[in-house]
Structure 1
Amino acid sequence: MRHTTTGAAVAAVLLLTLTACSGSGSGADPKTGPSAEAASTPAADPAEKAAADGTKELEAAVRAYSDAYFAPDAKAAYSMLSQRCQDAYVLEIFEPAVKAAASDYGKQEIESLTVDRAADGMARVSYTYAVPTLSQKQQPWTLEGKTWKYDAC
């Protein structure tokens, strides 16, 4: 009986950590489109924009989490969860889920990554893998101290 409960818990954590909060949305008002300010502002060089708003660190954090998750290095991936998510998932449940994901899908590399929104210590990130079911849309991340943390729990 305990094996079934643990298996169900592992499956639930795996499902949540791979697909949590994968909604879609552009952030633009569907009735009015992008704001007039956004339309009148000249497009900045993506590298300049990333450096200015800290998204370089966010992108690095997302890639590091993904690398650890599919390594599988559960302890490293767990350390990249927000405090809220660490409170929701104990390492003993999270670790088997990470191992199962690596076993089921093998080493996965992020193919494309877009920071959809980053402001006030909160961000939404979309990224894709070769296995479409693993791809994420609008995944939440939060800034804790000076470190971006996965916050999809």
Structure 2
Amino acid sequence: MRTRATIATAALLLAALTACSSSDDAPAASDSGTPAAEPTVSVPAEHEGDDLMAAVAVYTAAYFAADTDTAYAMLSARCAKEITKDEYAGVVQQAKTDYGPDHPATDVQADVSGDLGRATYKVEGLPKFDRTKQPWALEGDAWKYDAC
């Protein structure tokens, strides 16, 4: 139950952050016939790593819940080249079997510099899985786990 709540909360946070920076409207054409520039959205420094923190929460919850589709989709392209989805399914299933599904990420901190991020967090009840400056990569508009 707690895992679903963590995933739902993180998903809502990601949706809210995405909604703030995306637009369904096409750029308006100017009098010259060229599209007008889209407005620039700046993120206040204190919220710069919010989407990375949400990604860490979703990935960690999916990993321990053996949600292969979600967890594997959150691997960077580089990491996905190193392990097949079927092999990864075995890894997350073993984690769920060994530790159970209810181990959310806590005390998540994120340092972001362009398309590179570093996440520091604890895994509730499993200190051996606590991470410091774990690498993440921004691919497209999504943070991907890059610690392979």
TM value normalised by structure 2: 0.66
**Cross-structure match for 2:45:** 49
**Cross-structure match for 1:68:** 62
Output the amino acid matched with 2:80.
Q
Tell me if the contact between 2:66 and 2:92 (Cα under 8 Å) persists in the aligned partners. Answer: yes
1:140 aligns with 2:138: no
Q: Kindly tell me the number of residue pairs found equivalent between the two proteins.
A: 104
Q: CA deviation at 1:48?
A: 4.6
Give me the whole-angstrom Cα distance separating, in 2, the residues matched to 1:131 and 1:66.
Answer: 12
Q: CA deviation at 1:49?
A: 2.8
1:125 aligns with 2:115: no
What does the per-residue CA deviation read over 1:121-145, in whole Å, with 9 as the maximum and x for residues that have no partner? 0011111022110111110000001
Output the amino acid matched with 1:79.
A
Give me the whole-angstrom Cα distance separating, in 1, the residues matched to 2:103 and 2:82.
Answer: 25
Output the amino acid matched with 1:69.
Y
User: Is the partner of 1:88 in helix, strand or coil?
Assistant: coil
The residue correspondences of 1:30-49 to structure 2 (distance < 5 A) are: 48-49=44-45
Give me the whole-angstrom Cα distance separating, in 2, the residues matched to 1:102 and 1:144.
Answer: 27
Give me the whole-angstrom Cα distance separating, in 1, the residues matched to 2:106 and 2:143.
Answer: 20
Give me the whole-angstrom Cα distance separating, in 1, the residues matched to 2:44 and 2:114.
Answer: 19
Give me the whole-angstrom Cα distance separating, in 1, the residues matched to 2:97 and 2:130.
Answer: 17
Give the fraction of aligned pairs with identical amino acids, expressed as a percent.
36
**Cross-structure match for 1:112:** 107
Give me the whole-angstrom Cα distance separating, in 2, the residues matched to 1:50 and 1:150.
Answer: 22
Tell me if the contact between 2:67 and 2:92 (Cα under 8 Å) persists in the aligned partners. Answer: yes
**Cross-structure match for 2:145:** 150
User: Is the partner of 1:152 in helix, strand or coil?
Assistant: coil
Give me the whole-angstrom Cα distance separating, in 2, the residues matched to 1:141 and 1:50.
Answer: 19
User: Comparing both structures, which one devotes a greater share of its residues to helix?
Assistant: 1
Give me the whole-angstrom Cα distance separating, in 1, the residues matched to 2:76 and 2:112.
Answer: 16
Tell me if the contact between 2:75 and 2:145 (Cα under 8 Å) persists in the aligned partners. Answer: yes
User: Which one scores higher on RCO, CA 8 angstroms, separation ≥ 6?
Assistant: 1
TM value normalised by structure 1: 0.64
**Cross-structure match for 1:19:** none
Give me the whole-angstrom Cα distance separating, in 2, the residues matched to 1:105 and 1:49.
Answer: 36
Give me the whole-angstrom Cα distance separating, in 2, the residues matched to 1:59 and 1:66.
Answer: 11
